[in-house]
Structure 1
Amino acid sequence: MSMQHLLNETDILLKHLGLNEEPFGIHYSDTIPDNAYGPKKGTPVSRELEEQGALDMQAVMSTFSCVIGNIWLARKKHAAAYISPEEYGCVGGAYYCSMMKPHLRFIEHYVSTGFEGTPLDGERYMPGPDAMREFMIKVNPRKAAATYCIFKPLSHFTDDDKPEFVVFFARPEVLSGLFTHAVFTTGDMECVTSPFGAGCTNIVGWPLYYKEQGLEKAVIGGFDPSARKFMKTDELTFTVPLSLYNKMLSTLPESMFNHGSSWQGVRKKVDRSARAWDETK
């Protein structure tokens, strides 16, 4: 499907959903778009340096910048965001976006119960470092296809520059439409999944994981407490591989959006939500 056709069909889908924000696309490139949002260049970081005791985590954290936070800025400005091995911002995000392998052992403690005998208590999202290590090894993002992982509005892509994944930012009523239409398109009751992960894990890491497994899975995310400040109230993410997204667009004429009355009732709630949040423009 050409990008122009995909964008035309996306406009139809957005009107059905009642969503006034176009989705973002994700791809890898050796160049970044103009005026893109991303982290500052950080101190060199690697597992090797960590194991040698030569990694200054205070210096690493001094340039902290969240992937979802940069996407939030890009969303507001209708621009792009990026992360790279040198401009990583967050060592967890660098791993989930394929910018750094293997992961730092620091993350195993930081996301779980911290370091014993230190003031770092940890985020307590996982019950302990061992559980967090298993999670990191499970996700195991592939080697990056290029220098930068880039996030930008779908309309910024061309036929020579297509996205690998498409990401929607939406509240539950709209998500119910995306979820149900994905199932209608595939006939697979488990085609939508929502595993544990950071905000960027669920828009990059897990979608990459399923694609590498040869599975067409949509991933719902946005449950990471640390990333919630960079999302609208009640908003979640819905990430789908381009191959599945093309199929979802092709089945729109036969979908619930054009047949039956169930979606029309939900659509009224979408409109009420947009009025309540003053998002009708």
Structure 2
Amino acid sequence: MDSQLVKALKFKMQPVAVILTNDKPAEGLHFKEGSMNGCVAAMLTAVSRKNRLGYFDRNSFGCPGGGTGLGFGDRYGRFPIDCLLSTGNREAAAMMGSAGAIMAEGERFYKSPELARKWVNTLPFTDVPAEYVVFKPWALLTEQDEPALIIFFANADQLSALIVLSDYNRGTNQSITAPFGAACQSILFGYAEAEKDQPRGVIGFFDIAQRLAVDRETLSFTVPYKMFREMEASVPGSFLETHAWQKIQERL
């Protein structure tokens, strides 16, 4: 799909569209049914780099955080996410076998399980009205596709442009948000923004456990599709056509 915005920002990793559908893709990357070992964030970056479609359903979303991030409801259930994100749980780790190494000590993103649970309670859980969540790389996107979200992978220069352009036609200085969550959970925050009259762009990929999935200078920027269209329409006449941006383009 043609885009002045994508051309102007010269992304190293191509953007990925999140599409909700009841039609199972004929082919694409996907996790084994019932497996908890898959990482949605890793799938997201693989789709971008390999130029291949990826898809998920309620029986194949990998870890509980991934299922939650994709919009398949609260998938944590009895999983001790509050312990994993904080000081760990050795009893739970022992029950998980080799997969429980990180659980034993915890990821220490929060000082205590109580604070981690407080964070969990802030999540905008949702259950998407579709059987499948599809990741489609930009190069495969067509005008007939109807994405829910567009996810950009941006360095500091590109992120600066996305942030400025997000408020170009508004003047509110309230057009972005940067919540903490699992690397894939910017998708969940993006769904919540899509319900608003003036949705915000979601800066993400702050998850220390998954930072190695992208280059050190890369963050994600997730926007509802209607916000992407707003930003795309704002390109003509904006700073992206000025000498200042052209000089920055030279180092992208």
Tell me if both proteins adopt one fold, taking TM over 0.5 as the criterion.
Answer: yes
Structure-2 residue corresponding to 1:258: 241
Q: CA RMSD in A?
A: 2.1
Does residue 23 (structure 1) correspond to residue 15 (structure 2)? The answer is: yes
Q: TM-score, normalised by structure 2?
A: 0.86
* Displacement after TM superposition at 1:159 (Å): 4.8
Structure-1 residue corresponding to 2:219: 236
Q: Residues 97 and 28 from structure 1, CA distance in 2 versus in 1: closer, same or farther, beyond 3 angstroms?
A: same
Q: Deviations over 1:28-84 (max 9, x none)?
A: 112343432222111xxxxxxxxxxxxxxxxx6xx4110011122222221112222
- The answer (yes or no) to whether the contact 1:37–1:71 under 8 Å persists in 2 is no
Q: TM-score, normalised by structure 1?
A: 0.78
For structure 2, the residue ranges without an aligned partner over 5 or more in a row are 94-103
* Displacement after TM superposition at 1:214 (Å): 4.3
2-structure distance, mates of 1:95, 1:64: 15
- The answer (yes or no) to whether the contact 1:218–1:238 under 8 Å persists in 2 is yes
Aligned partner (choices 188, 194, 198) of residue 205 of structure 1:
188
Q: Residues 99 and 175 from structure 1, CA distance in 2 versus in 1: closer, same or farther, beyond 3 angstroms?
A: same
Give 3-state SS (helix, strand or coil) of 1:13's partner: helix
- The answer (yes or no) to whether the contact 1:71–1:80 under 8 Å persists in 2 is no
2-structure distance, mates of 1:215, 1:131: 30
Structure-1 residue corresponding to 2:97: none
Does residue 121 (structure 1) correspond to residue 95 (structure 2)? The answer is: no
Structure-1 residue corresponding to 2:61: 88
Does residue 131 (structure 1) correspond to residue 104 (structure 2)? The answer is: no
* Displacement after TM superposition at 1:137 (Å): 2.3
Aligned partner (choices 25, 31, 43) of residue 39 of structure 1:
31
Structure-2 residue corresponding to 1:54: none
For structure 1, the residue ranges without an aligned partner over 5 or more in a row are 1-6, 43-59, 271-281
- The answer (yes or no) to whether the contact 1:126–1:132 under 8 Å persists in 2 is yes
Equivalent positions of 1:48-127 (< 5 A) are 63-101=36-74, 103-105=76-78, 106-115=80-89, 120-127=104-111
- The answer (yes or no) to whether the contact 2:153–2:219 under 8 Å persists in 1 is yes
2-structure distance, mates of 1:265, 1:76: 27
Aligned partner letter, 1:75 = S
* Displacement after TM superposition at 1:201 (Å): 0.8
* Displacement after TM superposition at 1:240 (Å): 0.8
Structure-1 residue corresponding to 2:249: 267
2-structure distance, mates of 1:214, 1:103: 30
